[in-house]
């Protein structure tokens, strides 16, 4: 999901005595760009559970359609490969939401034990790349902005397909429209991009990265220069 739209939710728990402890400890998004223009993504989300807002699990929203340059709705394609919690397969259900799908993770009959729980969501997405005259690109909204808890650290790892090289790269932290630079970047052999935030993100903030790479390595799946934005988010309360 080229995820660039941040949505700030009202924070209703500012005075909660557990808020300082219940938080997202780490969010890592590892993306492999395939030559057929699909991307394989593994998200690793570690949360500290105190029973205030995280009781049975979390949910994750993915935008699966967008409006193209002619105003028509286009289905991007999205398939869950696996969902795990603490290394074991976890219950999940898919639910339609406006513009996409919600992955509800957890069992409503089972309360989570207090402490750290790590979720791993693996999926394949299509039509996430953008195509330009001199390069192709991935605009990746790593976290989305739908968070109601702070995030201690966010990491993004992007693997290019064979023979592709990074041409440009940039990131941004903060709320919708922000151009925060609270992150650092590292390139490995010009084909692997790594970035990580350098401060805690507060509710409503997110992290976005954009990678431009060698033109013509990947298959072009949609109109060149056709621009769109997408949204993702994580929530709690199931």
Mean per-residue pLDDT of the chain: 83
pLDDT at 40 over 80: yes
User: Distance between CA 192 and CA 190 in Å, rounded?
Assistant: 6
User: Distance between CA 164 and CA 214 in Å, rounded?
Assistant: 5
What was the pLDDT predicted at 4? 28
Question: Which residues sit opposite 175 in a β-bridge?
Answer: none
Nearest to 125 by CA among 98, 147, 103: 103
pTM value is 0.84
Superfamily name and number for 22-219+230-234? tricorn interacting facor f3 domain (2.60.40.1730)
Name the band, by pLDDT with cuts 50, 70 and 90, for residue 71.
low
- The domain ranges of the chain are 22-219+230-234
Q: How many CA atoms within 13 Å lie on the side-chain side of 177? A: 2
**First CA to last CA across the chain, in angstroms?**
24
Name the band, by pLDDT with cuts 50, 70 and 90, for residue 7.
very low
User: Distance between CA 207 and CA 171 in Å, rounded?
Assistant: 7
How much is the average pLDDT of 131-143?
93
- Label residues 143-159 b or e (16+ Cβ within 10 Å = b): bbbbbbbbbebbbbbbb
How much is the average pLDDT of 67-82?
74
How much is the average pLDDT of 56-74?
74
What was the pLDDT predicted at 5? 27
Structural contact between residues 197 and 182, judged by C-beta atoms closer than 8 angstroms? yes
Name the band, by pLDDT with cuts 50, 70 and 90, for residue 10.
very low
Q: Which residue has the higher pLDDT, 74 or 229?
A: 74
What was the pLDDT predicted at 61? 83
How much is the average pLDDT of 57-81?
76
pLDDT tens per residue across span 187-196: 877 899 999 9
């Amino acid at each position: 999901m080229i995820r660039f739209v941040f949505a700030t939710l009202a924070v209703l728990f500012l005075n909660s005595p557990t808020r300082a402890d219940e938080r997202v400890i780490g969010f890592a998004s590892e993306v492999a760009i395939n030559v057929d223009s699909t991307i394989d993504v593994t998200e690793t989300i570690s949360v500290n559970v105190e029973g205030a807002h995280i009781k049975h699990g979390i949910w994750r929203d993915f935008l699966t359609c967008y409006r193209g340059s002619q105003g028509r709705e286009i289905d991007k394609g999205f398939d869950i490969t696996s969902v795990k919690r603490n290394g074991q397969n976890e219950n999940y259900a898919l639910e339609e939401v406006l513009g996409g799908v919600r992955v509800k993770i957890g069992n409503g009959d089972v309360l989570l034990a207090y402490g750290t729980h790590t979720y791993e969501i693996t999926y394949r997405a299509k039509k996430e790349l953008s195509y330009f005259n001199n390069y192709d690109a991935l605009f990746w909204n790593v976290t989305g902005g739908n968070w109601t808890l702070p995030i201690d650290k966010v990491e993004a790892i992007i693997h290019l397909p064979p023979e592709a090289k990074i041409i440009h790269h940039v990131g941004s932290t903060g709320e919708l429209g922000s151009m925060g630079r609270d992150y650092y970047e590292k390139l490995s052999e010009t084909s692997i991009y790594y970035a990580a935030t350098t401060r805690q993100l507060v509710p409503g903030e997110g992290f976005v990265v954009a990678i431009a790479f060698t033109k013509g390595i990947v298959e072009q799946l949609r109109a060149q220069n056709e621009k769109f934005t997408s949204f993702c988010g994580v929530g709690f309360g199931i």
